[in-house]
């Protein structure tokens, strides 16, 4: 189980993580939260319930794609840049941002709940619902890192052969490791 998710009895997924892996995953998820941006400042009553459940139906979201290439990958246009694309974005991006924030926050909370053992590692066990949140966040992290690394299908092979002196090397290693985690988590969900 070290380093990759495996299915466990009862339909859950588990992965053994050491302190460094926990720290890296948590740090990346927090950076993703910062990239996506804060949620609504006062969207509820304080008890987890929205003040007005229908208020979101009348809120307008952004109509233009984000300027940051990583955000543009996370929130792509649904259509060629047209009035339809702007309208679609206006009514969907806020909800998509909220879901991505919720997924990344669930990842941070699950990592924070781990109790590392004597050797500094812990086993993270996820329910099916948590696994789906993790899958979304792992995908978002890979999209973000891939955007920062300017990954294209043709260039991915080049990333495997970077010299240690290349400043992109740590990001590439994280990108590839997240891909392995993502792939192994998908495999556990298909069992």
In a domain, 181, yes or no: yes
The pLDDT of residue 92 is above 80: no
Q: Cβ(119)–Cβ(51) under 8 Å?
A: no
Element (H, E) at 15: strand 12-17
In a domain, 165, yes or no: yes
State how far the Cα of 92 lies from the Cα of 122, in Å rounded to an integer.
Answer: 37
The pLDDT of residue 45 is above 50: no
The pLDDT of residue 114 is above 80: yes
Q: What is the DSSP letter of 123?
A: E
State how far the Cα of 102 lies from the Cα of 105, in Å rounded to an integer.
Answer: 5
**Which residue range(s) make up the domain with 111?**
23-38+52-189
In a domain, 97, yes or no: yes
Q: What is the DSSP letter of 105?
A: H
In a domain, 133, yes or no: yes
The pLDDT of residue 46 is above 50: no
Q: Check residue 17 and give its pLDDT.
A: 94
What's the total number of domains in the chain? 1
* The CA-based dihedral angle spanning residues 136, 69, 152, 141, taken in that order and rounded to the nearest 10 degrees: -30
Q: Cβ(23)–Cβ(51) under 8 Å?
A: no
In a domain, 161, yes or no: yes
In a domain, 13, yes or no: no
**Cβ contacts of residue 47 below 8 Å, gap of 6+?**
none
In a domain, 150, yes or no: yes
In a domain, 163, yes or no: yes
The pLDDT of residue 60 is above 50: yes
In the chain the first and final C-alpha atoms are separated, in Å, by: 16
pLDDT single digits (tens) 123-165: 999 999 999 999 999 999 999 999 999 887 765 667 778 889 9
Is the torsion defined by CA of 70, 72, 75, 78 positive or negative? negative
């Amino acid at each position: 189980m070290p380093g990759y998710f495996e299915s466990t009895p009862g339909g859950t997924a588990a992965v053994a993580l050491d302190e460094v892996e926990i720290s890296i995953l948590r740090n990346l998820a927090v950076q993703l939260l910062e990239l996506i941006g804060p949620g609504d400042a006062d969207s509820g009553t304080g008890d987890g319930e929205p003040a007005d459940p229908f208020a979101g139906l009348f809120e307008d979201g952004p109509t233009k794609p984000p300027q940051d290439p990583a955000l543009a990958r996370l929130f792509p246009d649904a259509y060629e840049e047209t009035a339809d694309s702007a309208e679609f974005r206006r009514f969907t991006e806020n909800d998509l941002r909220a879901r991505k924030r919720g997924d990344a926050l669930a990842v941070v909370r699950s990592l924070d709940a781990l109790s590392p053992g004597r050797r500094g590692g812990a086993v993270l066990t996820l329910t099916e619902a948590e696994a789906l949140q993790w899958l979304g966040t792992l995908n978002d992290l890979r999209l973000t890192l891939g955007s920062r690394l300017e990954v294209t299908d043709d260039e991915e092979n080049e990333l495997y052969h970077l010299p240690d002196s290349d400043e992109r090397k740590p990001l590439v290693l994280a990108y590839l490791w997240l891909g392995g985690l993502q792939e192994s988590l998908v495999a556990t969900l298909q069992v």
